[in-house]
A and B are shown apart, each in its own frame.
Chain A
Amino acid sequence: EAEVAQSPRYKITEKSQAVAFWCDPISGHATLYWYRQILGQGPELLVQFQDESVVDDSQLPKDRFSAERLKGVDSTLKIQPAELGDSAMYLCASSLRTGSPSYNEQFFGPGTRLTVL
């Protein structure tokens, strides 16, 4: 069964350092999402790509966060510099191209748990 791949699974860093997370969506999925999930809360969308284009990054803290999906396949989310409040689970998800992205179910990767010390 195809899965969304993410790496690393766990990352510990010190504040002010740079971190990067990688996501490889299910083959053929045009839409890719990055979410942040704080403990005890539901996932919150950071950025949404359709192929290589950003369609929603309204909740992405652009002063320190950046995301790219250069060839419309895998994606990288970067934080520089990391702050204590960035400690969370970072989830990547993908969904099919056909139809409206708003009703296609999303397939989630296992996530990257980030701890900022």
Chain B
Amino acid sequence: EIQMTQSPSTLSASVGDRVTITCRASQSIISWLAWYQQKPGKAPNLLIYKASSLESGVPSRFSGSGAGTEFTLTISSLQPDDSATYYCQQYKSYSSFGQGTKLEIK
């Protein structure tokens, strides 16, 4: 099974900040990576697929990059509504998720 490791586990930032979350895979997943946002009591919401493709309807301040084993999710200008937990998911070999990064607004 491919292990996915996210860092940091928690993150506190201010409105307007540029925020970066990292996801590392235990082996190459090429670009088969997705990012999700989850708010309390709700299902996850797809933000990015295939490492860097923005899902329809997702604000353009979200972007994804990387390939192989290291990937990043960037929020270019943090908004209050971005307070949530973010997960990466690999789908190169079956599927597995990272443990999540909880993003708080200062």
Do A and B pair up? The answer is: no
